[in-house]
Each structure stands twice: as C-alpha cells, then as structure tokens.
Structure 1
Amino acid sequence: MEQGVWDASEQGSETAPLADVLAFLEASVETLCEVDWSDHDADELVDAVGRAEIVARRLEAAGSRATAELAGLHRQKGRSAGGVATMLAEKLGLARGVVHGRIEAGGRRATPAGRAAAVGEITAEHERIIAKAVSGLPGTIGGTAKARFAEALTEFARAVAPAELRAEAARRVAALCPDRGQGREEHQERQRSARLGAVRPDGTSTLTMTLTPRARALVERALCDFGGPGGAVPCEPGSDERAPEQRAHDALVHQWALGSTVDPARPKGIASIVVRVTPEQLEEPDALVETDSGTQLSVRQAVSMAGSMPWFVSMLRGGREELHRIDVDAHPERRLASAIQRLVLYAAHGGCTFPGCTAPARRSQFHHVEEWSRGGPTTVGNGALGCPVHHAFVGDGPSAWKTVANPDSPGRCTWLPPGVDRLSDV
C-alpha cells in the first residue's frame, strides 16, 4: 500500500478495510479520468467503453447494497423507511424516489436479476423492470413459477435495451394473467391524449401524446415506411445526415401531409392547411405567414408544404376574392356552408372579422352577412368569418349586433353595434 491506497495485489485473499478499498477506487477513477482517449485506436476504445460500462453497473449495484444496509441500521433505531429515505436524500443531494429505489434494489440482491446486476450483466433499470413485473404477478402463481419467470426475463434482459424488456415483460405478464385484459381497451381509450404546446421563441413547438395501441401501430408504420435514411426526403444513398429523431419527425409530417387531401365529396369535410401569402411575401422566403390555425411559418416552409398540388388558387381582382378551378357557390340555397366555402373565407379573411378580434380562421365559423332567415344566400360573397363569441353577438334583440356588406371593401362586412342600423351611422 502506498500513500494510504490499498493495493489488491499485496493483500491476497484478505478482506481489506473499507476505507482502503474506497481510497483505491477513488485513485483508480482519478487515473482513468486523466487518460487521453485520443491516443487510442477504435478497438481499444470499444473495449474501454464496454469495461467502463460494466464497472459503472457494478458500482451502482454495490452502492444500492450499501444504501440498503444503511437504511436497515437506521430502521433498527426506530426510524421509518420514509424517514430514512428523506434523510439520505438530503445528505446525498438526491431525489427521495431515487433513494427509495436504491434501498429496494439493494434488498433484491439475491434475486436472479439482482445477481446479474451485481456483476454488470444488466443495468439497474433492467433490474427494476424485472422486479416490478414479478411483483405484479398474482398470489396464485407459486414461488417456483415466479422464480422461473424472473430467470427467463433476466436472460432476455442481457441482450436488449430497457424499453424492449419492459414491453416483453408486459407481454409475458399478460400471457400469465389473461383475466387482466378485461377493460384494457376502455382504459387505453381513457388514457389517450394529445397536447400541442405553445409556440416557442424560435418558432418550434412540442407535441406530447399518449397513444392507444392502434395509434402506436399507425405511428410505427409511418416510421417504418418513411423514417429510414432517405425516407420522406429524397437524397442520394448514404448522404442522409439527419439524426434518427429528425427522421422520425419528418416521417410523421410526411404521413400527415398525405392525409391532408382535399376531396369535395368527403362527407365529413376537408382536412387541409390554408396559408395566406401575398405576392410581395413570395419574394421574401424568410417572411413569416400564418396558417388558418394561427401557426407561424416562413414563406419557404409554406411553399414547401404546398408541393406540386395547388388545390386552391385564389386571387384578388378589383378588390374581390376569386377562387379558380372550383365552383364554390354551387348550392346557395343550402343553409350550411360547404367545406370549400369555409376554406375560401379562411384564405380571404384569415380569422374572425369582428373589429379587434384575433381568433384564427380555424376557430371561426361561417356567418351569413345577410341573415339566412331573411333570404341571405349561402355564398362566399355573403359570408364572413366570426369566432363563436362574436358570431353569437348577431341577432334580433335590442342588444344584438348586425352585419352589413361594405361596398368600399368587397368581400368583407361591417359589424354594426346595438342601436346602429345603417353603415352611414357607424
């Protein structure tokens, strides 16, 4: 031993003092941290990374055993398990749940997964997944069957990532406990969710989803079809430099774009994105424009989204909105506006036309400028966008608003407050 550091080669089979073992470990780690990895070739680095990973796993398992022993000593003094975890969490600067997990893992060192984790064959996360799966088995399954179940999962864990192990454990538990499948689909439907986050300063946003199995299958299909190198983005073989996460993003966007088609015959409306771009903005690819739902994107991105299928070509001629290729006012006698008529107004108005309202088109309704009950036709010329709040302002009562066509602004209307009957009185 030199400078208070224990040398394993000098001690033979004797059990070294704990302080000496820890000093030797700290000195070894210090030496490892000083290694210049750039001086080594790929084969040496692969070996080093693998050995360091095993050492890290074994250290974590040893730390969990020590934490469990320490917790046991405190419990002998009358402290509760929760109190011990809180005390250690404060002392170590860790979350209480992390300490709880280490105490529990240290107590499972005799299990198949615990033994595998102790020698670095699996990670602590693998061990926790297996322990949770075993604890979830019903009491009707005997101890021998549980041990075989744990051994089989441990063997499986040696060659897979934690996510694959978690899915396999769930499948095996379901096979052993088929009765738990009752009400599973109803539970999945209740859990499904999607939340579109706010737009961040750089223009990006987040999408958080909890997927049903069907939704996951569709996402996996999209990733399989379009998420590989070169998928969804044409490029030369071997030249795709996107990260896997970026390829997944592009695959889903490509799949959604395929579903955003315009078909007037579809009974449930049209799934499409409308972006208002002026000729002046087309000359500035970096200029920001908005979709009908209020999302900002650059002109370059908008043109890229349009691709080679300009379903709608709208023009302002003499101040009037004109939509080419489609007869938008084919059925003026119908009370409800068609999806295409709403799309024209989305492009023309951009959102609610009530003075000062910023509600985007996606959250606005078709409003008859001349009321339907008084003979107003369902046409683009007699239509205006109104958000649900301001659309409800219009009526026949003394406190109701009115709308009239404005000859000075073709294609738009003027909102008249209560008590005003003529445009000249505004």
Structure 2
Amino acid sequence: MTRGVRDTNGRGAVMVPLDDVLALLEASIETLCAVDWAGYDAGQLADAVMRIEIVARRLESAGSRATAELAGLHRQKGRSPGGIAALLAAKMGLARGTVHGRIEAGGRQATPAGQAAARGVISCEHERIIAKAVAGLPGKMGGAAKTRFAEELTQFARTAAPADLRAEAARRLAELCPDRGKDREKHQERQRSARLGAVRPDGTSMLTMTLTPRGRALVERALCDFGGPGGAVGCEPGSDERAPEQRAHDALVHQWALGSTVDPARPKGIATIVIRLTPEQLEDPHALVRTDSGTQLSVRQAVSMAGGMPWFVSVLRDGREELHRIDVDAHPGRRLASAIQRLVLYAAHGGCTFPGCTVPARRSQFHHVLEWSRGGPTTIANGALGCHVHHGFVGDGPSSWKTIANPDSPGRCTWLPPGTDRLTAA
C-alpha cells in the first residue's frame, strides 16, 4: 500500500505505511492470543479485561470508519448502497445489515457518541442507540440542542448497560416530545401480545409476551415481591438454589395464583404499584409519570391500573402536603414496619434518602430514624427509606453513620457521617 497513517509521536508528524501498521496489529493480536491467563491474579486479569475491551471498541470503530470510506469509493463508481453492502458482506462473510450498520457508524465519527466510541469510552452498540435516539428528535429542534442531547446520553452511556441506555433514551425522548403521547399509547396497545406455545414432550410450554408499560410495571412489582431468594417458596435462609430465571417464573406463577384465589378486597399478598402524581399531571391523561421501579407510563394508564384496589394519596394543598392514609401507625411498638407503612414511604420518598443515592423505593428498606434499640417507634414520622448498603451504614460503632429527624422537612431525616455529634448537628 502506498498510502500511510500519520503518526504524531512528539518528534513531528511522519507517515507510517498502512501495511506496517496492520502487520504490527496482527502481530500484537497473535501475541495476546498466546497469553496463558492462568498465571495471573484477579487484579491483573480485571485490568487486562478492561484494557482489551477498550481496544476492541476502538478496533470496531476504526473498522467502521474504514468500511465507510471504502463504501464511499464504491459510490463514486456508481454503485448503489444496497449493492455496496451486498458486495462487502459477501467478501467478509457478514450479514448485509451488519455491513450497512458499519457504514452508517463510520459516517458518524464526528458526533459526540462517535468520538466517544472511537476512544473506546463507550461501545459501538451504545453509539448506535444514541444515534437512533437523536434521529427521533423533532425536526424543529436546533442543532445545538440536538448536540447537547447527544452529549448527555453519551455521558450516561459511560457507566450504563445498553439496555439501560435504551430505556433512558426513550424516557428523554418522551419528555421532549409530549405531543406524541397519544400516538405512543396507541402504538403500545397495538404491540401488546401474549402467545402460549404448544405443550412440549416434557410437559413444559413457552410463553412469549410483548408488554405494555402497565404490564411491565405489574411484572416488575411481582418479581420484586416474590422473585428474590426464598420468595414464593418456603425454604431455610440461604438454601434457595433456584436460578434467577426460575425464581422469576415462580414469582409470576405465585402472583397469578393469588389473583385467582385471593379475595380482591384483601390486599395481603397482592403486588402493589406506587405511582407518584401531581394534581397538574392528573389533569393531563397523556402526561408521563413513573412507577417506583422507574417504568414510564401515561397518567391514563396509571389511573386505569388502580381498579378496585385501595389508594394511598398524598395531596399538596397551598404548598403543604396532606397525606391521607388508613391507620398506618396502628402498631408503633412492633419492630417490623407494615406493608402499608412501607407503601406510604415509597410514595413520600421515592427511594433511598441517603444523600446522592438513586436506589429506587422498591429496593429500599424501612429505616428507624431514631433507632429501635433507642426506643424509636415504628411510625411514618420515625421512618425513612434506606437501600441495603446505606441502611447498613447506621450503627453505634465509631465508623457508623447516624440519622436524626430533619425539622425543615417533616417526614425526612438527616444522615450524619461518622464522628458527627448527634446533638450538635441537631
């Protein structure tokens, strides 16, 4: 090859022949493949895995850029995009759609996500998700706003799995395009489906479903209530050997059994959904709200989920909260909080109250602001949500955190780091 790669190494720019660059890459890969990984400890292996992942991401990005450049040369010869993809796919033994994706990704190298993928900060799959989200923005949105949207998603993608990024992009698009809410609901309803497959020779069956947000919220709640170790089955602590998928199956079957046999007027055992709504949102049936687990749905869908089950309502009147509840503090002397008390805190706090923690309510525990061991009652006023990690921070030791009631925000608490005097801070 006569053309080369520009290499800047602090001594000026030089042109390195592309053949030499590729030969060096191939030799390095050959050496890496010959490494005996059994001779290294966990720390070294973890570092190696991360570095290899970054290199693999950069290689995929570089390959997409080269593929896009090659496609451009073919276009100059009059070939159609479909013909180019078919030609390259046949040469490389890839699917035509895969080649199309690489050509398109190679043309997005200048975007915030494209640059991040080229540095190996995010994966090429992250980049494709962000590109699709940007393409879904309304045409009236300016270029600066679209760039900012892409930059925010790129920053989110640095520490998020592709599935979480896809969900976050969908939420942000829905918030930016509220006028699509009605069509969005109709699309969701059209997509909903459930198909129970034939009975297999071993007696099992396959259930395939496409869930609406309402359906997903119900499934998530059932999995949260009954899908953990020991959930839906009776066993000794630590003896549950079921796989996560098996626990999910048992949780859903348990929930369906409850729905078929339990008196609907008795909430015990029925999975409960907590949805936080403002009075302004209630006036707009297409406004988007979220459940305690983060599933996004419209106000109309949220209201329809209530059915005949009881409601727990927190009302803001003249800037002050009125919380309507049914005898939630009936047993302040009992150590464990009741399901109703936890539900009220779910609605009031939304998640863990530790500063900066984003763990949702469904993965948080009831925490006594004044510890139970110090005479703290099991009441809403003395309760706060704490995730499993931060709840464990509280104790009497020198390295433990403490909590006190927050007089400026009734119903919440202040977390005091180790070494802080409780009375002085109050």
1:166 aligns with 2:166: yes
Instruction: Give the whole-Å Cα distance in 2 for the aligned partners of 1:239 and 1:18.
Output: 59
- CA 1:31/1:235 → structure 2, altered by over 3 Å: closer, same or farther? farther
Q: Which amino acid in 1 is paired with 2:117?
A: A
Q: Cα gap change, 1:203/1:36 in structure 2, threshold over 3 Å: closer, same or farther?
A: farther
Q: CA deviation at 1:34?
A: 1.7
Could you tell me how far apart the structure 2 residues matched to 1:235 and 1:23 are? Answer: 59
Give matches, 1:73-84, under 5 Å: 73-84=73-84
Q: Tell me by how many angstroms 1:63 deviates.
A: 0.8
Query: SS state of the match for residue 260, structure 1?
Result: helix
Aligned residue for 2:49? 49
Correspondences of 1:226-241 after superposition (within 5 Å): 226-241=226-241
Which TM-score applies when normalising by structure 2?
0.57
Residue 195 of structure 1: SS of its match in structure 2? strand
Which residue in the other structure is 1:59 paired with? 59
Cα displacement (A) at 1:13: 5.7
Aligned pair 1:142/2:142, yes or no?
A: yes
* Distance 1:78-1:232 versus aligned 2 partners, 3 A rule: same
**Deviations 1:331-377 (CA, angstroms, capped at 9, x unpaired):** xxxxxxxxxxxxxxxxxxxxxxxxxxxxxxxxxxxxxxxxxxxxxxx
The equivalent residue for 2:200 is 200
Deviation at 1:229, TM superposition (A): 2.5
* Partner residue in 1 for 2:253: 253
- Call closer, same or farther: CA 1:13–1:253 in 2, change over 3 Å: farther
What is the 5 A alignment of 1:101-180?
A: 101-180=101-180
Whole-Å separation in 1 of the counterparts to 2:199 and 2:16: 59
- The TM-score, its normalising length taken from structure 1, stands at 0.57
Look up the SS of the partner of 1:209 in the other structure.
strand
1:16 is paired with a residue whose SS is: strand
CA distance in 2, matches of 1:52, 1:204: 41
Distance 2:238 2:110 in 1: 48
Query: In the TM superposition, what is the alpha-carbon distance from 1:35 to its structure 2 partner?
Result: 1.5
CA distances 1:364-396 after superposition (whole Å, capped 9, x unpaired):
xxxxxxxxxxxxxxxxxxxxxxxxxxxxxxxxx
Which residue number corresponds to residue 188 of structure 1? 188
Paired residue for 2:35?
35
Once the two structures are superposed, residues 26-78 of structure 1 have per-residue CA deviations (whole angstroms, 9 ceiling, x without a partner) of 22112212222221111111111111111111111111111101100100111
Report the secondary structure of 2:198's partner residue: coil
Q: Secondary structure at 2:16's aligned position in 1?
A: coil
How big is the shift at 1:19?
1.7
Structure 2 CA distance for aligned equivalents of residues 236 and 73 of structure 1: 67
Distance in structure 2 (CA, Å) of the matches to 1:227 and 1:57: 35
1:96 has 2:99 as partner: no
Distance 1:241 1:48 in 2: 32
Q: What is the one-letter code of the residue matched to 1:77? A: K
Cα deviation for residue 204 of structure 1 reads 2.9
Deviations for 1:247-275, whole angstroms, at most 9, x for unmatched residues?
22222122222223288x9xxxxxxxxxx
Change (3 A) 1:83 1:245: same
Query: Residue 390 of structure 2 corresponds to which residue in structure 1?
Result: none
Residues of 2 paired with 1:128 and 1:231: CA distance? Answer: 38
Matching of residues 203-352 of structure 1 within 5 Å? 203-261=203-261
Question: What's the offset of the Cα at 1:101?
Answer: 0.5
For the pair shown, the structure with the greater C-alpha radius of gyration is: 1
Match for 1:92: what amino acid?
M
Instruction: Work out the CA distance in 2 between the residues paired with 1:237 and 1:46.
Output: 32
The alignment partner of 1:14 has SS state of: strand
Give the Cα–Cα distance (whole angstroms) in 1 for the partners of residues 25 and 46 of structure 2: 22
One-letter identity of the residue aligned with 2:188: Q
Partner of 2:419: none
For 1:173 and 1:262, how far apart are their aligned partners in 2?
Answer: 40
- Distance in 2 separating the partners of 1:176 and 1:222: 31
User: By how many angstroms is 1:166 displaced?
Assistant: 0.8
Task: Write the letter of the residue equivalent to 1:42.
Answer: A
Matches of 2:262 and 2:150, distance apart in 1: 53
Q: 1:228 to 1:16 in 2, by over 3 A?
A: farther
Q: Please give the per-residue CA displacement for 1:174-228, whole angstroms capped at 9, x wherever unaligned.
A: 1111111123222222211001122334433321101011110000001111222
Match of 2:272 in 1: none
Q: Distance in 1 between matches of 2:36 and 2:240?
A: 32
30-39 or 201-210, which deviates more: 201-210
2:422 alignment counterpart: none
Partner of 2:313: none
Q: In 2 relative to 1, CA 255–191 (structure 1 residues): closer, same or farther, beyond 3 Å?
A: same
Shift of 1:234: 3.4
1:418 aligned partner: none
The answer to whether 1:70 aligns with 2:70 is yes
**Cα distance between partner residues in 1 of 2:192 and 2:71:** 40
Task: Kindly provide the amino acid, as one letter, of the partner of residue 17 in structure 2.
Answer: P
Residues 1:88 and 1:178: Cα distance change in structure 2 (over 3 Å):
same
2-structure distance, mates of 1:203, 1:256 = 19
| Structure 1 Cα separation of the partners of residues 63 and 159 of structure 2 | 24
